[in-house]
Structure 1
Amino acid sequence: MIRSTSTLLFLCLILTFTANAQEFTRMGNTFQLAKSSIRLEFCTPFMFRVSKGNVANEPWMVNRYNWDTVNIRVTTTSGQITLQTSALRVVIRKPAFNIDVYAADGRLLSAEIASDSISCHKLLQPDEHFFGFGERMDFLDQRGKKVALNVGRGKGMPHLTGAYNVLEANYSPVPFFMSTKGYGIFLHTSYASDWDMGNSKADNYSFSAAKGPLDYYFIYGPRFGGILEQYTLLTGRSPLLPQYALGLHAGTYSGGTWGYEEQTSAAYVIALARRFREQGIPIDILFLDSTWRLFGKNGGKGATSFEWRETFHLPENMFDSLYALHYNMVGLHIRPRLDNGNRFHLLDSAAALGYTYPEGNKPGEFVNFFDTTAVNWWWEHAATKVASIGARFFKTDEGSAFGALANESNKTGPSGPEAQRLHNIFPLAYASAAYGKFAAFNHLRGMNQTREGYAGIQRFPFIFAGDWPSEWQYFEPVIKAGLNIGLSGVGYWAHCMGGFEHPADPELYIRWCQFGMLSPIALVFGMDHPGYKEPWQYGKDAQTNFKQYDELRYSLLPYMYSNAYEMYKTGKPLMRALVLEYQDDENVYNITDQYLLGNSIMVCPVTQKGAQTRVVYLPEGKWIDYWTGNVYDGHRYINALAPLDKLPLFIKAGSIIPTQAVQQYVGEHTIENITLEIYPFGNSSATLYNDDGKSLRYQEGEYTLTQITNEADSNHVKVHITGPVGSYHSSLKTYTLKIHVTAKPVRVNVAKWRYEDNTKCIYIDDLSADKENTIEIN
């Protein structure tokens, strides 16, 4: 009887294996469906890849393909194959092999209607909404919309219907979205793609690429933060920028924009840098835009000769002067085309070596940034001509011009199927080359400024929003662009404060700069001659306001830097659309003019001319008006006062915000004290991050983390600060606690403390930063 049972069990195992073998073959985490081109591979218990046909593992969009073994339980029936992890149950329905996905608790996440070699149709659930798709200026919630993703800007004349068309702006598209049902989809393609998110049919959505094979990743959160964590595990996370890159950036046309090139000079640049210092406006980064360089003989404005315009005398002395004024980085604008100048014949040399892309019967101008040998030649023979005398980063402009109409040229560069395949990822290869080469050359963390990007661009930060005119109608769409790119895995993002083209209305300049100083990267730059968005060009009130908010930013650098570390570890952006933190609150789905800066500060820009108030939505919880200290219950709308000098700011109750004394530039003084601003409410915590601010040693663990916790009820506040944990030896010696309370306390468990009635704050000075501290207040 025992033998018979064993034999029967053995036969059952054989039959089961045989049945499975007919259904699929398995190798590790990968399942190849029999009689089908469909392959399904688990990356983590929360993420899997679906492909149809032969797919390539490329290094630009995705930088991880090797995954740890995932525990997968497999069951088969006559009608389906079920693959189950600790987080997901994936059901493959026969005979079409449509894929449905359930959470571990049985909740339906996604149901597939049909798919083929280039497209996929899925069920659109009645209360489902979609966010992401890259740096878009049209909508936040894309339910019911059609979305076309292909790197570029609106084309056609006049500019009002072409380049200034917010519906067509596509500087940095990302073929990725997050659903309020708790999942995301990343379409792994470099080709142009189209997404119908319920526009044609109310009960389904679809996505397709211009060319196959179909290749996408399904990512489960269920919270948006969890989806972004998995997505950036796949496509890469933003590295830490140098800490001074969180200070103010200014761009300049050196005194002469288009049509005024003869007015450019190194003297203008030095005078500009000195004026910021004389006015006491904190600043760290300066870059020279297009007109520093001699326009070439073949590509004109659209190409880079790496020769200085004749109006620049001794540019190496200019760099020396700028660094003597304590600018931490000075950079230059370039384009990806090479050209011949008066002295250097870079285009001829590169083309002869095969390092450029041929353009019909004409010599190629675009450097092949996909080729390591070409990149090395470009760096050694072109880029180092300026890096060797002081340039420390590039603004890599016009990445969209590869295989498409360029802004400053009537050329489209290479054409044909290969250019179509590479068009969207060319900006990645271009930015990667400059970012990596400068980091190695400077022996510092890299920094790169670029206008165009695609999935994965967050590894070569940072993105800026493009050339939008200084008009009220573009202000709110630019904010929207920042929200959408943050929801797409890109955390370092900037825009031209006050707008880029045309002189700005002084009121618009003030309002836009308030927003800009509380953006992930603060950048002031314009092409309006002769103003160039320099703050003193817009009147005394504008200059005063500019300096006020710039100083606010510099005081927040420890907070910004700690949140940048969180972004490096988790992929959560610095600028967070409210839906990122409150995805179950439908009230936030279309809020495009409010956001969280980091995890504690809600920023509410004023985007209407003449407005003295604005409606603000406060999500769940309690919120404190930064300017007045008034406390509001959440999940409600309020009418916030907004005089011209005040940008409405609200602090999430329970927040712990590290601040420091304002410096004129990062590194002006050794930081020995940090103030911890604490807004007690319930139980909350924060992490203070510290490292040397410049090197890559943080990637080897050379940093410290300090945990601060707060426990509060109506009668008692307890603040606990751990000692620093980690191998970095910080200059930080003491903390000052600034605790916001409603009334003077009866007892504080330290000898020295003070209460100020006008601020309703308790101040405790000189707490050791090297030791554990516990403060109790009754």
Structure 2
Amino acid sequence: MTIVKRIAALCFLMLILLHANAQKSMGDLKGNFQRSNNVFRFLTTNGETRIEFCTDDVFRVRTSWDGRFEANEPWMVVKYNWAPVNVTAADKGTAIQLSTAKLSVRINKTPFSIDVYTSGGKLLSAEKNVAEGGSSKQEDTITTTKSLDASEHFFGFGERMDFLDQRSKKLRLNVGRGKGLPHVIGAYNVNEANYSPVPFFMSTKGYGIFFHNSFATTWDMGFSTPGQYSFSADGGEMDYYFMYGSSFPVILDRYTDITGKSPLLPEFALGLHVGTYAGGTWGHEALTSDTYVLALARKFRELGIPVDILHLDSVWRIFGKNGGKGATSFEWRETFKNPRLMFDSLYKMNYKMVGMHIRPRFDNGNTLQLLDTAREKGYVYPEPGNKGEFVNFFDSTSVNWWWNHGVMRIASQGAMFLKTDEGSAFGGLANESEKTGPTDEKARKLHNVFPIAYAKAPYEKFRDFNGIRGMNLTREGYAGIQRYPYIFAGDWPSEWQYFEPVIKAGLNIGVSGVGNWAHCMGGFEHKADPELYIRWCQFGLMSPVAHLFGMDHPDYKEPWRYGDTILHIFKKFDALRYRLTPYLYAASREMHDTGMPLMRALVLHYQNDERVYNITDQYMLGPSLMVCPVTVKGAQTRTVYLPEGEWVNFWTGSRHKGKQYLHVVTPIDEMPMFVKAGAILPMQPAMLYHGESAVDTLTLQVYDGSSGTCKMYQDDGKSLDYQKGGFAFTSVQLLKEKNTTKITVNKPSGDFEVPPTQYALRFYTTVKPVKITINGKALTDTEWRYDTTKQLLTVENAGDNSREINILVQ
């Protein structure tokens, strides 16, 4: 063969390879379509796309280039069977139009692409006019590209610490801590933090997309090419849900219909959670003991610090022979002389639940050879050469063995939940070792859903064993983790630079469907300066789950270690949290019903106000209370943005018009908080722990406005009866007409028998009342009082829940 022929042959071979590796679109539609109930099947020149209508405003798109479709998985999605949807199909010449009561989906024939309109004709999403729009495949990578509207903004993507609005950003979603050297970037690189990514976003155009794929994904939201965005996965199937909604709360409701709603935690879980290394963290394990745990628990009680839940972190157990710190032996460290007595004593001190930290690998201990036995019986996730170490949480038989032979050793002594740490180590770098576990293609597919399986197992096992609502604290997650049931933000140091990014994490995970969220208030490691500590704790005590835990030996993060002033402020906010329990519990029920998180980025309520798109240091806690943490060291003031409406300063009662920036003073013992005018905050008496005394009086803290509503929620606080109708709501309404404000408190409604309850009224109003009437009876001057400085009307006896109450303030 001549050199010219060789070059020609080589060029031909290169062209073949380039063609084989080229991006392959779906081509053109072949023929018409086939329909089976809600599913429409479209064959194209390069593959097949199926569109399944779930409801009249949600549909699923699945694309295959080889005609094969994967079986439905159980980890991310909980609902695959949908009721029939009324869909009409029409051939419009260049497109097939599928129409429901709310959507019109246009299937363009050449090239095959999908455009989505509302039933009224508003364009929501387009592919046709985008270069290489629609779905495509290159080797194992699958991609969908859509047009990007000039005014479109994106929110979601999981527990991000970089930005709130992700327009013009590029994101990589894959469970992990980030890459690099510890304390330089590593776990502390906020741009790479990926503890709990969620492949879901909401657009301000009125739709959301959930990419139903467990491989690592990349989202280019207008970063590379103006006018378009794309999402791709390293493998698997192009499978996504498109959901239309008039507002973000509607879209969140649709998304959590697919991936599951958050369960209700036990009501006492709204109280303070405290973690401890039992006396000595890494390198100081010999200092741990059961006596330290009991002394710590007693000190919280003696100092009058409200707390309900305690967990023992890593060093309660011996480090095993194979995995060391990174695995679980389920053998107590010898310094714990009597664990059963420790648990019994903690529960006698009215701690409601005590939990234990674990990691997902089996290990051999001094007397238990769990790893060896699990390998022999096939209860580890298989790795080459029978070197598997991870509990196979994808297999129910393995989970049962892990529970019976591992977890039950501590559950039978008194442990009631687990902290399932390091779910990212399955197929990723572990914290305390260089191990990565399985890394084959199947493991890469399971890597992101492993944290879900890992949290699901103890959540359900302990729920059944304890006979009450389940609890599990976990660090990592993915789509669907909200079901099992709360996560924390990971190991962020006690430094000012990480404080606001942690707040961003809470905002982003909330707009991604995960509402039960915590963080290590005060920071996890390094010694915090007292100001940072208390500012972080103020935020933590007004977070969805209040979690106090840190590892810096010997200071840790208990409030008395930072001086009397800090202790006093901590107790002030802790007591306020316990008083707000009825308000927080009602918001928890709303989250369970609708997917709305407790901690809400302002964009969830004020989607049409672009000023809130990048506010990452303010949020709504529940529907009515705006929290504004102070994140700058030494700050004596800060600027807050008040959205539309009217707002009342929680501490002073002063009123301010919305749609303005307000400069407020920030004394160290206050964190700026504002309440919506018209809001009604139900509050209970202060307590040292949940159930310390009966809640026989509720204070209705009402903020004058044109109108307002509140739905108090009550159940037994512990059982699963709420899933079967065992609950009650009490509606409260405020309505202002001319010079009279009417406050109506309805009788409780529902199957749960609400105990007799007295009401007190705290009514913030700028106008001093002249007459108060309750159910037609005028109160005497001694039965109410008005504080002109605080602009506060107080009525100590405003009736009880045995009948409807109508209060007229004139």
TM-score normalized by the length of structure 2: 0.93
Q: Distance in 1 between matches of 2:32 and 2:183?
A: 56
Q: Which residue of 1 aligns with 2:54?
A: 43
Q: Which residue of 2 aligns with 1:33?
A: 42
Q: Which residue of 1 aligns with 2:292?
A: 268
Q: Which residue of 2 aligns with 1:16?
A: none
Q: Distance in 2 between matches of 1:647 and 1:732?
A: 35
Q: Which residue of 2 aligns with 1:777?
A: 809
Aligned partners of 1:43 and 1:70 also within 8 Å:
yes
Aligned partners of 1:670 and 1:731 also within 8 Å:
no
Per-residue displacement from partner, 1:672-727 (whole Å, max 9, x unpaired)? 11111111211221100000000000000011011111101451101111111111
Partner SS, residue 126 of structure 2: strand
Aligned partners of 1:744 and 1:755 also within 8 Å:
no
Aligned partners of 1:680 and 1:711 also within 8 Å:
no
Q: Distance in 1 between matches of 2:756 and 2:408?
A: 37
2:32 maps to which of 23, 26, 39: 23
Distance 1:174 1:430, change over 3 A: same
Give the partner amino acid of 1:31. F
1:203-602 matches, cutoff 5 A = 203-361=227-385, 363-602=387-626
Distance 1:431 1:158, change over 3 A: closer
Q: Which residue of 2 aligns with 1:684?
A: 708
Q: Which region of structure 1 is more displaced relative to structure 2, 346-355 or 113-122?
A: 113-122
1:133 maps to which of 137, 146, 157: 157
Per-residue displacement from partner, 1:311-368 (whole Å, max 9, x unpaired)? 1101111001100110000000000101010111111111111010233335321000
Partner SS, residue 690 of structure 2: coil
Q: Distance in 1 between matches of 2:172 and 2:368?
A: 41
Q: Distance in 2 between matches of 1:491 and 1:589?
A: 19
Distance 1:49 1:76, change over 3 A: same
State the Cα distance separating 1:415 from its structure 2 match. 1.9
Aligned partners of 1:723 and 1:772 also within 8 Å:
yes
Aligned partners of 2:198 and 2:478 also within 8 Å:
yes
State the Cα distance separating 1:555 from its structure 2 match. 0.4
Partner SS, residue 667 of structure 1: coil
Aligned partners of 2:63 and 2:135 also within 8 Å:
no
State the Cα distance separating 1:495 from its structure 2 match. 0.4
1:720-759 matches, cutoff 5 A = 720-750=744-774, 751-752=778-779, 753-757=783-787, 758-759=789-790
Aligned partners of 1:147 and 1:195 also within 8 Å:
yes
State the Cα distance separating 1:77 from its structure 2 match. 2.1
Aligned partners of 2:748 and 2:754 also within 8 Å:
no
Partner SS, residue 669 of structure 1: coil
Per-residue displacement from partner, 1:611-665 (whole Å, max 9, x unpaired)? 0100000000000011111111001101011111110000011101100001111
Q: Which residue of 2 aligns with 1:72?
A: 87
Q: Which residue of 1 aligns with 2:5?
A: none
State the Cα distance separating 1:766 from its structure 2 match. 4.5
Query: Does the alignment pair 1:89 with 2:104?
Result: yes
Q: Distance in 2 between matches of 1:499 and 1:90?
A: 48
Q: Distance in 2 between matches of 1:390 and 1:158?
A: 35
Partner SS, residue 530 of structure 1: coil
Q: Which residue of 2 aligns with 1:15?
A: none
Aligned partners of 1:491 and 1:574 also within 8 Å:
yes
1:592-741 matches, cutoff 5 A = 592-713=616-737, 715-741=739-765
Q: Which region of structure 1 is more displaced relative to structure 2, 345-354 or 32-41?
A: 32-41
Q: Distance in 2 between matches of 1:593 and 1:226?
A: 24
2:121 maps to which of 88, 106, 109: 106
State the Cα distance separating 1:21 from its structure 2 match. 11
Distance 1:305 1:158, change over 3 A: closer
Partner SS, residue 768 of structure 1: coil
Aligned partners of 1:188 and 1:215 also within 8 Å:
yes
Aligned partners of 2:421 and 2:474 also within 8 Å:
yes
Query: Does the alignment pair 1:763 with 2:794?
Result: yes
Partner SS, residue 579 of structure 1: helix
1:115 maps to which of 117, 123, 135: 135
Q: Which residue of 2 aligns with 1:167?
A: 191
Q: Distance in 2 between matches of 1:252 and 1:354?
A: 34
Q: Which region of structure 1 is more displaced relative to structure 2, 101-110 or 754-763?
A: 754-763
State the Cα distance separating 1:162 from its structure 2 match. 1.5
Q: Distance in 2 between matches of 1:668 and 1:627?
A: 26
State the Cα distance separating 1:428 from its structure 2 match. 0.2
Aligned partners of 2:715 and 2:726 also within 8 Å:
yes
Partner SS, residue 40 of structure 1: strand
Query: Does the alignment pair 1:145 with 2:145?
Result: no
Q: Distance in 1 between matches of 2:657 and 2:724?
A: 43
Aligned partners of 1:642 and 1:648 also within 8 Å:
yes
Q: Distance in 1 between matches of 2:495 and 2:483?
A: 32
Aligned partners of 1:681 and 1:713 also within 8 Å:
no
Per-residue displacement from partner, 1:540-599 (whole Å, max 9, x unpaired)? 111111100000100000000000000000000000000111111000000000000000
Aligned partners of 2:418 and 2:473 also within 8 Å:
yes
Q: Distance in 2 between matches of 1:708 and 1:86?
A: 34
Q: Distance in 1 between matches of 2:807 and 2:798?
A: 13
Per-residue displacement from partner, 1:104-152 (whole Å, max 9, x unpaired)? 2211110012312411000000000000000000110100000000000
Give the partner amino acid of 2:790. T
Q: Distance in 2 between matches of 1:225 and 1:483?
A: 14
Q: Which residue of 1 aligns with 2:6?
A: none
Q: Distance in 1 between matches of 2:285 and 2:236?
A: 46
Q: Which region of structure 1 is more displaced relative to structure 2, 405-414 or 549-558?
A: 405-414
Q: Distance in 1 between matches of 2:549 and 2:790?
A: 36
State the Cα distance separating 1:492 from its structure 2 match. 0.4
Aligned partners of 1:249 and 1:286 also within 8 Å:
yes
Q: Distance in 1 between matches of 2:662 and 2:120?
A: 38
Give the partner amino acid of 2:63. K
State the Cα distance separating 1:97 from its structure 2 match. 2.1
Q: Distance in 2 between matches of 1:87 and 1:604?
A: 38
Point out where structure 1 has 5 or more consecutive residues left out of the alignment.
Answer: 1-19
Q: Which residue of 1 aligns with 2:8?
A: none
Q: Distance in 2 between matches of 1:264 and 1:223?
A: 51
Give the partner amino acid of 1:711. L
Q: Distance in 2 between matches of 1:714 and 1:419?
A: 66
Q: Which region of structure 1 is more displaced relative to structure 2, 101-110 or 653-662?
A: 101-110
Q: Distance in 2 between matches of 1:635 and 1:45?
A: 36
Aligned partners of 2:236 and 2:445 also within 8 Å:
no
Q: Distance in 2 between matches of 1:465 and 1:541?
A: 27
Q: Distance in 1 between matches of 2:553 and 2:736?
A: 55
Q: Percent identity?
A: 59
State the Cα distance separating 1:770 from its structure 2 match. 2.4
Aligned residue pairs total 759
